[in-house]
Structure formats: structure tokens, C-alpha cells
Amino acid sequence: MKRPRLCHSASRSIFIRTGGYRFVLPYADEWAKNVKARWVGRRLDDVLAAELPFIEAPSLAKAFDIGRIRVDDAPADRAHVLALNQRVTMQFHRHEPEVCDHDVAVLHEDDTLLAVNKPPSVPVHPSGRYKRNTVIGILEADRPDLFEPASGAGKGARIIHRLDRLVSGVLLMGRGAAAAAELSAMIRAGHMRKEYVARVAGRFPEGETVVTEPIGCASRGIYQCGGEGAKEAHTIFRREAVLEVGGGGVESQQGNEAVESLVRCIPITGRTHQLRLHLAHLGHPITDDIKYGGRCEALEAALEEQQCEQNGCGAGEEEEKEEEGQQQQQQQQQQQKQQQLQPEEKSKASAAAPAAGPARSKGHLDTAKLVVPDPVWPDSSRDAHCRECEQGFRDIGSVTPEDLLVSQIRLHALRYSCYAGQLVGGDCSAAGELLWSVEAPRPEWAKLPEGGKRG
């Protein structure tokens, strides 16, 4: 068996890359913040529970008990009331979620601009439970020369925009604070043309489709078209191709065939989840964007199977029983044939017959466990006071394909182009000279069909 690669970064984190996943060994970390105005007068434990939702209540309580939570460098009580000018620190053992194992490819690199191809499932920068399993963390491990001090004074790569964790494609960074500020200013001033490609449900309309529905926040992490406080949003869509996908399409049916479409998306504004919401508003959600109307058939099958196991019944039970009955009937027929064979013929038939495997329900995924040789979780990555360590590390061998089913959506930042002048409504004809353009390769799901239905 191929041994997993161990990747050591400059910050001493270790990536484990195996079975299509990238893991980070658990490690000691510290969260440190000056008291914010909205924290003043509140209990320390309430603030930490709100600011660090990924740390469970028992782990937070234990951290208080062993003195790992401090205010102004002194052990703090959970009922401590916060005041301005205080500094709160918490030491804890960080267990990061795994991500899909893709390299962060550099698309363009010069003295002012760095462009990379962001993989799906990987967040851009530290957020929540993610810190090293991010685009920045991976680049720091693979290309430390891009960051200070190795890059030279004032030339360290700095993020100037972001992509959702589920989205892939072009991600821009400035080489140093001055370059990052200049590029950010050009984006705000409308000098940048952004082009995405999405795979959506149904037959998208031909020609150009413009959506100007305002976008607002519905709840934490969920956005909507319209509603109180919604802000102006403007997107241009153009259909690239219609894809015939047999019975596996989403929502829209054309005769007996399900179809999906590849759509070029040009956002004029940059609201959170803008493209996802505007496509859903048109009735053509991104095919696997389950948050905004898409479907993930493999996930649905896995959930049905889980429900069936929990309840002893569930959707698809009759089909499973029918399949089992057919298999039993086939086995009985095979046994009858075997009994009629001469001894030498029996041995030949047995040698030729494939080994029987477990019955699989319709839509079942291959959940074969990954086997990782030692050392995977060395003692050095354990913490005697960590509740997650006490419960046992998540066994890499137990990770199945279902774990990352919703870790990406079919939305890809295809091209970013910068012009000397300002674009008007996405039109670059009067924007003057093209200063530069960076394009990321299309993923497999976004490739245009050869001789297929285009436009």
C-alpha cells in the first residue's frame, strides 16, 4: 500500500495526504483578543462560547479548570465580567477538519501580483475550526518564499478578495501591502472584470440574462434575494452549453431527458453568495448547491440509508427487499446448477465465479475504509487535557466518501481581467487597455462538450 505523504510546513504543522483527503495533525494553539466594545459587561464564558462555537461546552469548562483561559495573563474565572483594555487568551488543542486533497497551483506570479487556482473545499484564510488547512496555510507549506520574511521586506503575499470555501478558481493576492492596497482599490473602482462558470439545473435561456435582485442576510450564513436591509446586486449570465445527463439531472426535465447547462456568470457587484442566489432566483440553481435549491443525489442516498439503519425501515426499503429476493433466487438457481455438475466441472465453475460481495442498495456509495499505516497520530500530537483526544482521535481509516460530499459546488472563478479604465455594467469595450488577465483551467464538470449543444 502506498504510504501517505507527510508535509512539514514552516509553522511546524504536518499535513497528511491520503485517499483524496488532506489532514492536519492536531496541535497546540492560542486564541488571543483584546476586549471588544460589544463584550464589555458580559461574562467571560458567554463571550468565549459565542466567539469559539467550535469548542464544545465541556472542553471550555475544562480549560477554565486547568487555567488555560486567562485575562491579562492571570487565570480567569468563568464568571469574570469583561472590561475595556483587557486581553483574553485561551490555550487549546486544535483539531481541524479535513479538506479535499488538491495542490494550490500558482497561475501567475510577478513583483506585484500573485494568482492561484483555489481548490474546492479549502477555505481561503483561517476561520472557525480551519487555520492551517487553508489556502494560506497550504501555500506557506509549499511556497514559503511567497511570504515574509523569505519573500523580502514588503513582498509577502496578501489576500485582496475571497472565494467561498465551496468554490474553486482564480484567487488574487497582492505582493506586499502597497500592491494589495492598489489592487483592492482597482476592484472597488470597477476596473476588474470577473468571470465565473457554473453548472446549473435545467435548460438555461439563450442569450444574455440580467438579474438585479437585491441581496440581504436571512440568518447566520444564509442569504436571500430581497428582505429588510437587502443591498443592490447585479449579475449578467450567458449560457455556454446544454448538457444531456440522462436520469441524473436536477429538477428540470426535457421530455424523458434531464438536462443541465453551463452558464458564464459575470458579477457586476460582489455580494455574498450573489451568483448562487441569482441563479436560484431564475429557477436554475447550481446543481449540487443544496443550500440554495440544488441537489446532491449521493448525499440523499447516504441519508436515506442512515435513516433506514436508525429506524429499521425507510425510503428504498421495498427496492432493497426486491433486490435481495432476486439475489436469493439467483443463488438458488446457481446452487441447483452446481448440484447437476460433475465433480470436475464444479471445481472449474467455482474457480471462475467471482467472490460474492455485500448487497448494495440503489445509489449506495463505495465506503471502503482508508487504511493508513503508523505513524499517523503520533504521541507528540496528543494533549492529555484535550477532550477530543480523550474521546479518541477521529480514525482516518473511518473516513468515507460521504464525509466530503457537500464540500464543493459547481461554481468556478474562471477569469479575472484588469483594465486601465472603468467598466460600465460589465462592458469592457470602453475600459481602455487590458493590463492583465488570469485564467484558471476548467474543472472536469465545466468542460465544454465536443460537438455537443453549445450556446
Active site residues: 164
Is residue 282 within 8 Å of 292, Cβ to Cβ? no
The C-alpha cell that represents 12 in the structure block: 511546524
* Cα gap 198→336, rounded to integer Å: 54
Find out whether 55 and 104 touch, Cβ atoms under 8 Å.
Answer: no
Cα separation, 449 vs 76, in Å, equals 62
Going by DSSP bridges, is the β-strand pair 411-419/168-175 parallel, antiparallel, or unpaired?
parallel
Instruction: State the Cα–Cα distance between residues 90 and 31, nearest whole angstrom.
Output: 5
**Nearest-10 crossing angle of helices 57-65, 44-51:** 130
Tell me phi and psi for residue 361, to 5 degrees: -75, 165
The answer to whether residues 396 and 239 touch, using CB atoms and an 8 Å cutoff, is no
